[in-house]
Chain A
Amino acid sequence: MATKLLIEAIHDTLVDEMRKDERVILMGEDVGARGGVFRVSADMIEEFGDNRVIDTPLAESGIIGAAIGASLNGLLPIAEIQFFDFIHSAMNQILNEAAKIRYRSNGDFHCPIVIRTPYGGGVHGALYHSQSIEAIFTREPGLKVVAPIFPADAAGLLRSAIHDEDPVLFLEHKKGYRAIRDEVPANGHVVPIGKARIVKSGSDATVISYGMMLHESLAAAKALEEKGGGSIEVIDLRSLRPLDSETILESVMKTGKVLIVHEANRFGGVGAEVSALISEEAFAWLDAPVMRIGGAEVPAMPYTKPLEAAYLPNQQTIGAALEKLAAF
């Protein structure tokens, strides 16, 4: 098993899948000659050529529209949106076309595209380069949304996404690209979409998270345990839609207390859906209100450092919430 950065795991899986299957193509702004703004697709145009690694105009709607068309004609396109913040321009293509083609055509057509995009803050990116707007997409029945934060999960889920017959939004945390390094199994490793992972097992409370907040949560849980504050289970959702209700509910039935943490703001967020699922399905096992921590309820990530830090949940705020939950 090799140890890789998150960004390396994604790069290597893209290369591996493009080598194995000619139908797989990559398209997006600067993915070719530049190798991607984050260098995810570094050197890929040299290996696969500009027919399969395609630099597109700055037109997100066009990128997704072209990917949809290509997929309907037998290819397996991977469309990169340079920043999640820019995806709004492609919303009509994603929500009205990609997500609905199978349903609209009564199953005659389907749209096997992957939309890869870096998301998340904490990198001094401000309004246009920090957003976590996944909840806009998780509410869409025709879309799958995944947000792996461990290199192995990124590799395994990207493979599943590429071979999924329907559109998958693949979220890559830009701060995690070069911050998270972990072991990745050899090529061919697959993680099924819709399965969460218990990163750390515990018995007194459950933290449900994803993305960079998963790592903050993990640190908070470990710190609390070292203080003797209880045994905390930490679940990485990995897939935001479909949700792994089985893993979530089993954990809730075990611990009775839940904290949901994500970087996106709370209102109508993924945490709201998880919370509703728990109160509907595991009400009789709850020993405390389901608690949520999210980013600040303001329109955008602030640019200035102290405000950016204040916007984001962190190990301390999560730890404080966990202590309250444990004492409840």
Chain B
Amino acid sequence: MSEKKNIFERRPACTILIFLFILILLIDFLSGLLFIKEDYQSFRTQHYYYHHGLRPNQQAFARWSVRIYPFNTNSLGFRDFKPRKISLEKNQRRILILGDSHTEGVDLPFESTFSGLLAKKAEQHHTEILTAAAVSYSPRIHYLITEFFIEKKKLECDEIYVFIDISDIQNELVYEKYNPGKYNILTRLLYNVKNFLKRNSFTFHTVKKIITDKGKKEFYDRITGEKKEEKNISETFSADLYYSFFTHFNDNILLANPRFHGVGDWLYDKEFNSLAMKGIQLGQENISRLNNLCRNHGISLTIAVQPWHSQIKMKQTVDEYVDSWMKFAEKNNIGFINLYPLFINEENPQAVIKKYYIKNDNHWNKEGHNKVAAYLEKIIWE
């Protein structure tokens, strides 16, 4: 009677291979645990449906400029005071705020951003405010993220305020060819596995980093231009983010033109004016889609436009950009808020920039957010 053989004796090669595989995996994940450094953008993620967004339930720290500030997200992956579960059903008036980096509130803790200030105030008015905003969002992403949450996830809300600005015209061109992945189990599984490996597997992380660094270097070598007052984007901490938004944009001639990256001036630049118009048109097509979606779900929609430095310096409260959106909103029966007069008025434009904006940056500082929140509070609750 032959003795019962163990698995190694029965299949030595296979067992060694399995053992080696498990060992490599262990070493890989252990190395990941030890050597993958959490950076100040770790709460951000690519998204298979709405391009990019924020990871849910994060308690992290962020860096936009020189400051490092707390950054928390709720269960939906929206910026919030702290990680918390958000019910899909509403039990009071619910407002969804959409926007880009201005609305995300870069360089500030959520409490100091206009949406954070409004969310705090909302408690007194039996209202809930959710902020679905992230850096480099534009009408295309606003539509996709709303479709994802309202239609796929069945999130309930009464009103949507969407904050747009001049940077959207570039984003719209960049996202023109972006198509969302299918909302099915396989896509979601692949997306989750990829994200898991990126954050935990040392090998996956390292290979991805090498490829990204190479691409980033090539990208910035092409776009480096001359800027007197501000730093080139490639020299700032938001450079990695900026690069990652161009993954679906292949127009190398445009990318190589430094003026393409100074989107604030497109409207005033003969060469770029037609491109600016195309960006506005794409944006309006996407907001039309968003408006239809809102109508189907009985949600009221309001657009708000905010100025950059270049608009403040031009001192026009209704420029080509504002005028175009104002007419669009009127035609489509969408609410419209012009934030330009808050920053373009009798005050000296440079004084306004100094008082309400981050140093050498188009985003509001704490005072700027206070000003916007105080203005919107009246519109929302009075």
**Do A and B originate from a single complex?**
no
Using CB atoms and an 8 Å cutoff, list the residues of chain B in contact with chain A: none
